[in-house]
Amino acid sequence: MEREPVSSSLLRSVGYDSDQQLLEVELQDGKIYRYADVPEQTYQGLIEADSLGRYFNQHIRELSYSRVE
């Protein structure tokens, strides 16, 4: 999945697959996580948020995820 760079102190890049509702985030430390069953509105909320890190922590961090190596 391709990710786009974002301006955030927590996140380095974000990608989304709308067909599979998969969200992939790369943290500033280089770790990459893939979140399943993420509605497109949640992804849109993330990329449009004033603070991506705050939105991520409030709406996404606790969702089911897998680590991408």
pLDDT digits (tens, 9 = 90+) for 13-61: 999 999 999 999 999 999 999 999 999 999 999 999 999 999 999 999 9
Alpha-carbon Rg for the chain in angstroms = 11
Helix (H) and strand (E) counts for the chain?
A: 2, 5
pTM: 0.93
> What letter does residue 31 receive in the DSSP assignment?
-
